[in-house]
Amino acid sequence: MISLFTNKQVRAVDSFAIEHLNFPSLLLMENAASSLFQIISEKGFLNSIPTTVGILCGRGNNGGDGFALARKIAFAGHKVMVLHLSGANEFSRDAKQNYELLLSSAALYKNISIKKITKTSDVNILRSCDLVIDALLGSGSQGELKDLLKEIVEKINSFSTKKVALDVPTGLNADTGYGETIFKADLTITLGELKRGLFFADGYASSGVVEKGSIGVGEKFFERQKAEDFLVEKKDIKSFIPLKEKSLYKYSAGKVFLIAGSKEYGGAAVLSSSAAFKSGAGAVILTIPNALQKILLQKRPEIVNQFYGDRDTEFLSVEFYSSLKEKLTWADAIAIGPGLGRHDETMKFVHHLLQKHSNKKIVIDADALYALRKNEYRNYQLKNCVLTPHLGEFATLINVEKSLVEKDLLFYGKQFVKETKATLVLKGPRTIVFTGDGKAFINPTGNEGLAKFGSGDVLTGMLASFLAQIKNAQHAVLSAVYLHGMAADQLKKEKSAYGFTASEVANQIPFTLKELNNAL
Examine residue 50 and say whether the peptide bond preceding it is cis (omega within 30 degrees of 0).
Answer: yes
Q: What's the whole-number mean pLDDT along residues 150-173?
A: 95
SS3 172: coil
pLDDT of residue 48: 77
Q: Which residues contact 147 (CB under 8 A, 6 or more apart)?
A: none
User: For a pLDDT cut of 70, what percent of the chain falls above it?
Assistant: 92
Q: Which residues contact 518 (CB under 8 A, 6 or more apart)?
A: none
User: For a pLDDT cut of 90, what percent of the chain falls above it?
Assistant: 64
Confidence of residue 447 (pLDDT cuts 50, 70, 90): very high
Q: Which of 57, 4, 423 is nearest to 176 (CA)?
A: 4
Distance, C-alpha 426 to centroid of its chain:
9
pLDDT of residue 149: 92
| C-beta of residue 373 within 8 angstroms of C-beta of residue 295 | no
CA distance to 23, 243, 330, 467, per residue, from 247 (Å): 61, 12, 21, 20
Helices (H) and strands (E) in the chain, counts: 19, 18
- Residue spans of the domains in the chain: they are 2-227, 234-518
SS3 content of the chain, % helix, strand, coil (to 5): 50, 15, 35
pLDDT of residue 55: 96
Express each pLDDT in 54-76 by its tens digit.
999 998 989 999 999 999 999 98
Distance CA 393, CA 373 (A): 8
Higher local confidence (pLDDT), 480 or 29: 480
pLDDT of residue 359: 94
SS3 462: helix
Average pLDDT across the chain, whole number: 89
Distance CA 500, CA 506 (A): 11
Lowest pLDDT segment from 53-62, 305-314, 507-516: 305-314
Q: Which of 288, 291, 375, 382 is nearest to 338 (CA)?
A: 288
Kindly report the CATH class assigned to 2-227.
alpha beta
151 phi and psi, to 5 degrees? -65, -35
Domains 2-227 and 234-518 in one fold: no
Confidence of residue 294 (pLDDT cuts 50, 70, 90): low
| C-beta of residue 140 within 8 angstroms of C-beta of residue 171 | no
| C-beta of residue 211 within 8 angstroms of C-beta of residue 188 | yes
Q: Which of 438, 480, 477, 485 is nearest to 229 (CA)?
A: 438
Q: Which residues contact 105 (CB under 8 A, 6 or more apart)?
A: 71, 74, 75, 112
Confidence of residue 215 (pLDDT cuts 50, 70, 90): confident
Lowest pLDDT segment from 37-51, 169-183, 401-415: 37-51
Confidence of residue 176 (pLDDT cuts 50, 70, 90): very high
Lowest pLDDT segment from 157-166, 212-221, 449-458: 212-221
Q: Which CATH architecture has domain 234-518?
A: 3-Layer(aba) Sandwich (3.40)
Checking if the pLDDT of 218 tops 90, the result is no
Q: Which helix (H) or strand (E) holds 256?
A: strand 255-259
Considering all CA atoms of the chain, what is the largest pairwise distance in Å, rounded to the nearest integer?
90
- Edge-to-edge, what's the strand order for the sheet holding 209-213? 112-116, 79-84, 52-57, 131-135, 162-166, 187-191, 209-213
Distance CA 441, CA 439 (A): 7
Checking if the pLDDT of 174 tops 90, the result is yes
Higher local confidence (pLDDT), 235 or 14: 235
Dihedral Cα 441, 445, 447, 449, nearest 10 deg: -110
Q: Which residues contact 277 (CB under 8 A, 6 or more apart)?
A: 284, 300, 302, 303, 461, 465
Checking if the pLDDT of 355 tops 60, the result is yes
Start-to-end CA distance of the chain, whole Å, equals 16
Distance CA 290, CA 520 (A): 47
Q: What's the whole-number mean pLDDT along residues 124-136?
A: 94
